Structure 1
Amino acid sequence: MCAADARVAVLADCDNTSPDILEYALRVVAQFGRVVVRRGYGNHATLANRWQEALVRLAFTPCLQYQYAAGKNTADIALALDALEAMFDARAETFCLVTSDSDFAYLCRKLRERGATVLIVGESKTPDALRNASDQFFEWVPPEPASDAEEGHKAKPDAPKPPVKRRPKMLISAVALLAADTPEGKVGLGALGQYLKRTDPGFSPKTYGHGSLSEMVSTYPDLLMGHENGGHWVSVRAKPEVPRTQ
């Protein structure tokens, strides 16, 4: 099964991290396949407050776990059992755990022993025991808080305007991410478009004022497009840095 067809399960430990991490986790796992399982685990206090909006908006199934005794984290046990069940039922072969809790290190090792690919999306506080138990660790860095001037600007609704040609930084990040592990440092235009659609189902070049993805890519001064295999395959790569003269 190719990476594009791989089934991915994203399981979030809501008691251990911030809901802001979810969108980053979905962007990361989009390169590994199609997300078929989205679940968030936590107690009533967690899921009823700050996590509720994020789980609903990003189509995650909330898995509420009551704490039957003080100090007992039943949500962790439920997450681990659901991960193993999804693996044995062949619902997923790639697992992304959104957590910084080293208690999941053993679960990671068991999943990998059975042939599953395990990804961890966590914060800088994630211990090495958990990082090293996964196939790949992705560190999420919380965004800096917006200034008062930016907040005031956002509060004022803008009048509808025709879309202008824009170059979002996320496209450069996507090229860098997808091309990082390739020998030539290139990614196919089709694969790039598929990845962007996975990270944002509503993605369209027209939203940014462009008629097509190729037209959009061509406006980036830091990216290069090339036609290969007789023009049947279009590649995208970062423009090489020009060495500085002494």
Structure 2
Amino acid sequence: MEERKYALLIDAENTSSKYVDVIISELKKYGIITYQRMYGDFTNPDLASWNKKALKYAIVPIQQSRYSTAKNAADIMLVIDAMDILYKGTIDGFCIVTSDSDFTRLVSRLREEGKSVIGMGKSDASKTFIAVCDEYKFLDKIVDDESKGDKPVAEKDSITPIGEIKSAINNLLQECENNGEPANLGMVKSNLQRLYPDFDERNYGYNAMMKFITEATKFRIVKQGTTILVVRGGQEVPVNVEANVQQYIIRKAEQNVKLEILGQQLHEHFPEFKYKDYGYARLSRYVSSIEGVQIDSNNIVSSQK
């Protein structure tokens, strides 16, 4: 699969240069950084430290002098560049580094065009700005946690309360249990990030998701081969993966689902399942082999009448 491409745009006037190493390393987890730009009045001595970071990472400085005490030119230039990059159609997402809520509408506009937006900034950032991003990384929390290790920390106002996180996990596990589906660790984290763009286990003092689950939320971790499941105390752990897969396909067939979408859903819910392990070269042939399920010429999976 081709790596996703991101544009990194940094509001240098509202971000400390000490976070640049973390910004780059975090964004590289998501894909390739094709644009790297920082915005500010770099004639200002307060921004002098940004020059060394720009050289280290080949970040292009966009010099914008402050002409008045009103809305500064650097913010305006960042918005203009973001829209220019958007309409070139060469990237998959943006990383906007700022704690300034004035960029909220920009992020909304980028997402309206189907681009993912990762926000980064300090934990005192506007809740409105955090909520509008697909994900939001608290740079001060990440730096603090890397230096301290796995130590629980007190919650800050901008961070989603741990009680709310636990409730969301419990609801997800209940839903999976009702549907007879396993809840793997990756799926749990993905769902939390969709519900809470600011979610990152490091915000709560944990460098690993497994430790966060077992220590902060008190749910259980169960390993089945290479698969890591999250379960509630007393919840029965699914054993027969193929039986669960077939039951899942039968339920989805009742909803007339496209084969491509079904394949994506199977990968999300049953990452350890490989139809080739059961002697099938294609997913369509495996699905067609299940009693009561059919695929039409438009690749729609449905129940046989």
State TM-score, norm by structure 1: 0.57
Question: Where does 1:1-246 land on structure 2 (aligned, <5 Å)?
Answer: 2=1, 4-43=2-41, 44-45=43-44, 49-141=48-140, 143=143, 181-182=186-187
Contact 2:96 2:119 in 1 (8 A): yes
Q: 1:181 to 1:50 in 2, by over 3 A?
A: same
Report how many aligned residue pairs link the two structures.
Answer: 161
The Cα of 1:72 is off from its aligned counterpart by 3.2
Residue by residue over 1:78-136, the C-alpha shift from the partner in whole angstroms, topping out at 9 and shown as x without a partner, is 01111111111012221001110000000000000000000001101111011011000
3-state DSSP of counterpart to 1:83: helix
3-state DSSP of counterpart to 2:30: coil
Q: Which runs of 5+ in 1 are unaligned?
A: 145-168, 170-178, 186-225, 229-234
The Cα of 1:31 is off from its aligned counterpart by 2.1
Contact 2:12 2:47 in 1 (8 A): no
Structure whose residues are more often helix by fraction: 2
Q: CA RMSD in A?
A: 3.2
Contact 1:41 1:75 in 2 (8 A): yes
Q: Which runs of 5+ in 2 are unaligned?
A: 150-183, 191-222, 234-305
- Runs of 4+ residues over 2 Å off in structure 1: 68-72, 179-185
Q: 1:11 to 1:180 in 2, by over 3 A?
A: farther
Output the amino acid matched with 1:69: S
Output the amino acid matched with 2:12: C
Q: 1:68 to 1:180 in 2, by over 3 A?
A: farther
Whose radius of gyration is greater, 1 or 2? Answer: 2
Contact 1:9 1:35 in 2 (8 A): yes
Output the amino acid matched with 1:103: D
